[in-house]
Amino acid sequence: EDDEVELARNFGCGNLEEVMQVVQISERSQLIKMLSSTDPDIMHALIRRIDTNKMVEIMAERPVEDIAQMMEAGDWDGSTDDNHAETGSREPLLGSNDMEPFDPQEDPPTLENGEEVDDEIRRLGQQYVSLIAAGDAAGVKHLFLTAPIDNLWEMTLDLEQRESEAQQKEMDKAFERLIPGKEFAKMLRQRKELRGYCQKLMKRQLDKKIAGMRSGKER
């Protein structure tokens, strides 16, 4: 039973019945068989079945502690292939050329809803980039513990529009090195409002992963 709870938590769920809803599988035995498989193709097929809207809906009903435990278990930060996982290092993780310079005169980008990004969001994004580039874990933590939740999400969307795919990956890796899952779990327990941001980010990242898997399968 404990193993099933652990497996369910990987999908943001509390039990396998909820996982069945998320991956749109009606037979419990089929789900268990797929979860038990060591064949990566089967696991990829399972991930492609995920209904991320349903996953977020179920996650919203879970206690904050469940999400924190997901992060601690490593289901939040993902794995990186480098050997620079030392946290708290003051050595710069990103060089000055890794991000495009901030130009207040440039045309403001737009969010997905078509609204212009205001100066406050742009300044927040520039502060975040600077903290990441400096390897300032304490500064990044302070930003996420104090900035308005909506602003954090708009900042994330704005940076996504401004960065290339390679820059996004490098920024994600740098963030994960500074704030591993266990550290973000502590932040979530301290500021429970972060759960909304976490759920949006998890959904967005998973949507991208699923889209990549589906496009790769179609080729």
Taking each continuous run of H as one helix and of E as one strand, the counts in the chain are 12, 0
How confident is the model at residue 192, as a pLDDT? 95
Residue with tokens 């790769």: 216
Task: Say if residue 61's pLDDT is above 50.
Answer: yes
Task: Say if residue 115's pLDDT is above 50.
Answer: yes
Instruction: Give every CB contact of residue 201 below 8 A, 6+ residues apart in sequence.
Output: 156
What DSSP state is assigned to residue 91? S
Percent of the chain surpassing pLDDT 90: 48
Task: Say if residue 156's pLDDT is above 60.
Answer: yes
Cα 129 from Cα 120, distance rounded (Å) = 14
Of 180, 182, 160, 181, nearest in space to 171 by CA = 160
Determine contact, residues 99/159, Cβ cutoff 8 Å: no
CA-CA-CA-CA dihedral for 131, 132, 137, 142, to nearest 10: 50
Task: Say if residue 199's pLDDT is above 60.
Answer: yes
- First CA to last CA across the chain, in angstroms? 40
How confident is the model at residue 96, as a pLDDT? 35
Cα 209 from Cα 47, distance rounded (Å) = 9
Query: Can you give the pTM of this predicted structure?
Result: 0.71
Q: Within 10 Å of residue 111's Cβ, how many Cβ atoms?
A: 15
How confident is the model at residue 1, as a pLDDT? 64
